Amino acid sequence: MKNLFNYFTRESKQSSNTGPPTIVEKETPKTSVKKLEQSPTSTEAPKTCPASLIKKTKRNDSDSFDEGDFDLPKFLKKSEIKDSNMRRPDDPDYDPTTLYIPPGQKFTPAMQQYWEIKKSHFDKILLFKLGKFYELFYLDAITVQGILDLKWMGDEQKKAHVGFPEKTLEKNAAILIEKGLKIVVVEQTETTVKNRVQKAGKVVGREITEILTKSTFSAHYMSSDHEPAYLLSVVEIQDNFGIVLADLSTCEFFVGECNREDFRNLIYRSRPSEIVYNQYFLSGNTLKMIKALPIPPVFSMIKNSDEWNPIKLSEYFPEDVPKIIASLPMHSSMRALVGCCYYLKNSLIFDRTIGIGQFKVYQQDLIHQRYMNLDSQALEHLEILLANVGKEKVVKGSLYDFLNKCSTPFGKRLLKKWVTSPLMSVESINKRLDAVTELISNKEVYKVFDKAASKLPDLERLLAKLSAYSIKSNSKAVYFEDVGTNRLKEFCSFLKFMQSLQSLMSDIESFDLQSEGLVNIIKLQSYDGCFPDLNPLCNELFSKIQNNNGEPEPIEGFCDSYDDVKSEIKTLKNSLQNELLTERARFGNNPEIKFVDSKFRYELEVPMYLVDKSKPKDYEETSGRNGFQRYYTKNIKSLADKLVVTEERLKNELKPFINQLMSLFYANFEIWKKAIDLVSEFDCLASLAKVVNSTAFTMSRPYFCSDSSEMEIQELVHPILASRVDNFIPNSVHFTEDNHCFVLTGPNMGGKSTILREIGLATIMAQIGSYVPAEYMKFSPVDSIFTRLGASDSLIEGKSTFFVEMEEANKFFKKGTKNSLVIMDELGRGTSTEDGSALAYAVLDALAESKPKTMFTTHYHMILIDIREIPGVVMTHMDSVLNATTKTLTFLYKLKNGECPKSYGLNIARLAGINENIIKVAEKKAAEEEYEQKLALVTGMLKKLKEKGIQNPMPYIQEILNEYNN
């Protein structure tokens, strides 16, 4: 294979381009390695430091807030802030995660606890539990108040203190995380009552329970967004990338190694939400590449290189390193895994993620064998996941969006994997296509499926969440919300949903479907590729739970400690009832005397008329209402306190029960997962069928052949444009061994780029098992699609357009084969006419050797004479009609054989309403420039032809000049 960099040696112009010709440049780390004591990670720049985020709040739009508006402790003042090592924020070694608090400060006991935590999590928003509320102080309060639209506590802004109730944590945390903030949640480990009963006045215990970031959030909560928020741990060692890509919502971990090119593709495909890295194991160029992603991730740096040492793997997996990982001989991936483990451990979710992790090897070779190679450029240029709307990238208008008619969140996620991983095996593609074909003609089947499936929650994530409950937690956090009961309810509803899946599959089975792909999903056979029998498993688990007044609890006899506490509660409640009878007896057994739960539990409510004259001496007033007074006696108070504490114990006794129950559940993880995976697959196949039945244009089943040079597509349209535009004009192309390269010319706006994209999209659609937007398509599976379309985002990576063009074209020469599809739109546009046209020629000439199916547009009409001589090239153009009198152009959008005589740029200007006088001047200028350009081109060509050993270039030059003179 030729290397384009060698083939086409650039000269003088190269130096004027900003892009460096080297691919990777190791950046010398600016900071020295520093041992982190308390805070494990550091933000790459102190930009998530609360102080600098203040500008994001609604209240304060300016860069800084006015310190005079708030009563801040002195050590929080901008002029005073230091990290734990007394470094100021302008120090290159400043650690934004820590805060220096000078000795001798006087805090209340609760605030003492607050600052103990805050000083090692200064970069995070601290949500500090006080009773039923999360409260935020000082800079955190100032940052968050505007974002969450909270009222200042006691309406006093000066105190910089806000809060929100326990039950709004998930909603509020999600909003803050979306803003790129990190959160640390601090819970109470005992209730105030328990503290009062047991410790008489000591401060309530508290602990950190959650550290929430964009990726870790999904390990705790079921986000409404079905998209995975991937965590990517990466280690770069001399162009070799060790990676761990983790979806913490489903606990899937992909571990492996890849080269720079595959790393780039990986991040474009997965679009990670958070990157964990070390400054010594990630080059400046890679950082730039990551930052250039359409939605840049949050960066979490683990500064201490020791925490990336592969030797530490055995510390994280003391018993057994998962087999699949142990089989990896890869050094960098082990480092990335160790870094990932460290991060998860410090985020307090190691057990609930790695502990139940499903590890998969990310194997570059296997991926290339099984799937079409769709690199980051192809994904971007063909708008597979995101479409370009102006400078924005949006899902609407992408191929994924067009094909997504899935009913479940897990189906949507699988479809996204399908569209980015078209298959290579004709057998597998046809299996999907058979299933889609059968569903197209059986609409009733997917209607039945949709009706049930659209009601399903995100079962895949729920499965991971429930599995995590099988891990014993040491947390003592107490919640006012009944967490244990809620978990049990969640579990019961999961089981019911799984049972409903099974009955859904039996309903679908009654349609007697025949295609192998569908039969393998729905047939209720033994657990062997077909839908598993879930009912016995569900019944077994349900048998451990009983219903207690609508609340689930363990059946008697399953959990002794739970039963014991329950009977203690019963005794206490009986004793309280006896106390009530005793108190009523004091007033002639008056039934109006009752227990109420108002300010406290079991307050004795007595009608006023009974006590206004003589109140028993031992009655301690608690609260009252109109006509009634409420009291505690010593006995009642003591029993009520005991009851509260014992009920709390009962809640805690649910934990070991849930643990035990979830272990039984987790033992069959594979079966639950299989059932959900099969439903996802059905959802995707049904989605592809629904697309065919809902489009106004023709879609047909693609066919495959063994001749790798063959690709015939008749009456093809662009699926997204044709859905929006009436009368979209279809086109046909036929690639063969002798006609493998279509060179396309035509006026601006004539539909050139559109037809290029159409072919790419149809190929991808066919290989994922979808119908294609054409009357007919036959081809042999394409191994790669190489694209060069439009300006690339790599400009942000610091590469010039020309460099990117060279790099992209060069990719083909490194990896392309006869089975590849090459789509090049105006190659050479990023440089001078001379260089650009020579590059275009050189690329086409080189492609003649390996003969990939190529679609190539160009505006360099001057080189067409040369190009048409290249073997395999077919000259085509997009048809249009020029009205000689009005000089207006009508686009016909039809692909025609032969070259288009002119590019009609000025006619387009006319169409756009530009003043006729201006156009006339432009026409004159264009003629002059064209002459200049041709001269420059002749010089360039002369050189090139000499290099190629063509001794007599005069006929070529003559031809160019003749054309000009005509």
Ligand X SMILES: Nc1ncnc2c1ncn2[C@@H]1O[C@H](COP(=O)(O)OP(=O)(O)OP(=O)(O)O)[C@@H](O)[C@H]1O
- The residues of the shown chain that bind Mg ion, judged by CB under 5 A, are 753
Shortest separation between residue 10's beta carbon and ligand X, angstroms: 25
Q: Which residue, 224 or 727, is less far from ligand X as judged by CB?
A: 727
Q: Which C-beta is closer to ligand X: that of 661 or that of 895?
A: 895
Give residue number: closest CB to ligand X.
Answer: 751
Asked if residue 408 binds ligand X (CB under 6 A), the reply is: no
Q: Which amino acid is at 291?
A: K
Binding piece for ligand X, criterion CB under 6 A, among 40-48, 386-394, 559-567, 742-750: 742-750
Q: If binding is defined by CB under 6 A, does position 160 make contact with ligand X?
A: no
Q: Is 728 in the site for ligand X (CB under 6 A)?
A: yes
DSSP 27: P
Q: Does 851 bind ligand X (CB under 6 A)?
A: no
**Partner that binds at residue 96, options Mg ion, ligand X, none, CB closer than 5 to 8 Å by kind:** none
Q: Give me the least distance between CB of 215 and Mg ion, in Å please.
A: 38
How far apart are alpha carbons 63 and 59 in whole angstroms? 12
Interface with ligand X (CB under 6 A), residue from 729, 765, 782, 806: 729
- Using CB under 6 A, pick the residue from 233, 249, 753, 858 that binds ligand X: 753
Q: How far apart are CA 417 and CA 238, in angstroms?
A: 29
For the four alpha carbons of 750, 752, 754 and 758, in that order, the dihedral sign comes to positive
CB of 827 to Mg ion, least distance (A): 12
Contact stretch for ligand X (CB under 6 A) within 87-95, 436-444, 530-538, 746-754: 746-754
From Mg ion, ligand X, none, which one binds at residue 635 (CB under 5 to 8 Å depending on kind)?
none
| Complete edge-to-edge strand list for the sheet that includes strand 741-745 | 373-374, 784-788, 821-825, 853-857, 741-745, 873-882, 889-897
Cβ 908 to Mg ion, closest distance in Å? 12
For 899, the token pair is 């070259």
Closest separation in Å from C-beta 717 to Mg ion: 17
Q: Which of 110, 389, 608, 725 binds ligand X (CB under 6 A)?
A: 725
> How big, in percent rounded to 5, are the helix, strand and coil portions of the chain?
45, 15, 35
Residue 286 interacting entry, from ligand X, Mg ion, none, C-beta within 5 to 8 Å by type = none
Residue 871 CB neighbour total at 10 angstroms? 11
Query: Six-digit token pair at 450?
Result: 């949709």
Taking the C-alpha atoms of residue 742 and residue 964, their distance in angstroms, rounded to an integer, is 24
Interaction residues for ligand X, span 890-909 (CB under 6 A):
893
Say how many CA atoms lie within 13 Å of 339 toward its Cβ.
34
Q: Which stretch binds ligand X (CB under 6 A): 70-78, 80-88, 508-516, 750-758?
A: 750-758
Cα dist. 636→25, 583, 625, 724 in Å? 76, 10, 20, 74
Cβ proximity to Mg ion: between 598 and 748 the closer is 748
Nearest to 769 by CA among 687, 688, 826: 688
CB 576 within 8 A of CB 595: yes
Minimum distance from residue 331 beta carbon to ligand X (Å): 47
> Closer to ligand X at the Cβ: 302 or 717?
717
Minimal distance, residue 752 CB to Mg ion, in Å:
5
- The window from 120-128, 514-522, 688-696, 748-756 that contacts ligand X (CB under 6 A) reads 748-756
- 942 close to 953: Cβ distance less than 8 angstroms: yes
If one asks whether residue 97 binds ligand X (CB under 6 A), the answer comes out as no
Residue span binding ligand X (CB under 6 A) among the ranges 369-377, 391-399, 680-688, 741-749: 741-749
Partner touching 728 among Mg ion, ligand X, none, CB below 5 to 8 Å by kind? ligand X
**Shortest Å distance, C-beta 800 to ligand X:** 20
Q: What gap in Å lies between CA 417 and CA 430, rounded to an integer?
A: 18
- Measured from the CB atom, the residue of 723 and 748 that comes closer to ligand X is 748
Instruction: Report the alpha-carbon distance of residue 192 to residue 195 in Å, rounded.
Output: 5
Shortest Å distance, C-beta 751 to Mg ion: 8
Q: How far is CA 212 from CA 247, 319, 357, in A?
A: 15, 28, 19
The 10 Å CB-count burial string (b at 16+, else e) for 389-426 is: eeeebeeebbbbbbbbbbbbbbbbbbbbebbbbbbbeb
Within 867-886, the residues that bind ligand X by CB under 6 A are 878
Give the other-Cβ count within 10 Å of 239's Cβ. 14
Is the CB of residue 231 less than 8 Å from the CB of residue 273?
yes
Total number of residues that touch ligand X (CB under 6 A): 14
750 lies in the site for ligand X, by CB under 6 A: yes
Q: Which stretch binds ligand X (CB under 6 A): 354-362, 383-391, 632-640, 752-760?
A: 752-760
Least distance between Mg ion and beta carbon 395 (Å): 23
DSSP string over 267-308: HHHH--SEEEE-GGGS-HHHHHHHHTSSSPPEEEE---GGGG
Closest to ligand X by CB, 283 vs 801, is 801
- On whether the CB atoms of residues 243 and 333 are closer than 8 A, the answer is yes
Closer of 448 and 909 to ligand X (Cβ): 909
CA 90, CA 82: separation in Å to the nearest integer?
A: 10
Cβ of residue 792: shortest distance to ligand X, in angstroms? 15
Give the pair of three-digit tokens for residue 557.
């006899």
Question: Is position 787 an interface residue for ligand X (rule: CB under 6 A)?
Answer: no
Min CB(910)–ligand X separation in Å? 15
Shortest Å, Cβ 805 to Mg ion: 15
Please, which residue, 310 or 750, has the CB nearer to ligand X? 750
Q: Of 936, 966, 754, whose CA–CA distance to 860 is shortest?
A: 936
752 interacts with ligand X by CB under 6 A: yes
In order of 213, 228, 264, 283, 374, the CA distances from 289 in angstroms are 22, 21, 8, 10, 18
Between 319 and 726, whose beta carbon lies closer to ligand X?
726
Q: Is 732 in the site for ligand X (CB under 6 A)?
A: no
Q: Binding to ligand X (CB under 6 A): which residues in 703-722?
A: 721
Which residues neighbour 564 within 8 Å (Cβ) at sequence distance 6 or greater?
Answer: none
Q: Contacting ligand X (CB under 6 A), which of 754, 763, 801, 850?
A: 754
- The helix (H) or strand (E) run that includes residue 263 is helix 260-270
359: three-class secondary structure by DSSP: strand
Query: In the complex, which residues of this chain contact ligand X (CB under 6 A)?
Result: 721, 725, 728-729, 746, 748-754, 878, 893
